[in-house]
Each structure stands twice: as C-alpha cells, then as structure tokens.
Amino acid sequence: MLVKVTRSGGFAGLQVGGELDTAGQPDREQLDAAIGRLDQKRLGSGVPQPDRYVYRVELRAADEADPVRFTVAEQDLDETTAWLLDRVLSQD
C-alpha cells in the first residue's frame, strides 16, 4: 500500500509531505492495521480550526489503482491515525 500525506496549516502555515510504501517496512502489520482503521466518516469533517494542521491523505493499493483521497483536520485525529500520519511524514 502506498500512503501519501500532506500536512498544511498550523501557526506558521508551512506545508510538508511524505510518502511511504508499506511493503518491506518492519512495522508493516501495524501500518496496514492503521490504514484499515481509517474511516473518513469517523474522522470528522476535515474542516480546519485556526492555527491547527490539516492532513490530506492519499491511499493507493497498486501503482495502477485509483487512489482514495480524504482530508483530516488535526482536532479529528485519533491516536492510531496520528501515529500513521506522523510515521509517513517522518520518512526520509
């Protein structure tokens, strides 16, 4: 699974992005479980609050597959989703 995350907003309004292919990752099972728990309806409206982050997420099962895209506002993150997004953004 290919996961792309773009984080924007916050106090400084900076934008950062990351991409992670879960294949071959040592924590692949944990990554796949976190991806499986993503549910846009459960994660809220995606409407940002002042000085908070907004995450744009793209999931793609294979290079040829159509991606699933959604937006998550920082205040709507649960612990598992926050871990997943931070894990993707921390990739070098």
Tell me the domain boundaries of the chain: 2-89
Structure token pair of residue 56: 């744009």
pTM above 0.85, yes or no: yes
Give per-residue pLDDT as tens, 1-28. 999 999 998 888 889 999 999 998 999 9
Which residue type occupies 78? D
Residue 10: name the closest of 47, 48, 49, 52 by CA. 52
- 59: three-class secondary structure by DSSP: strand
Give per-residue pLDDT as tens, 32-75. 999 999 887 777 777 788 889 999 999 998 777 799 998 999 99
Contact 11, 80 (CB under 8 A): no
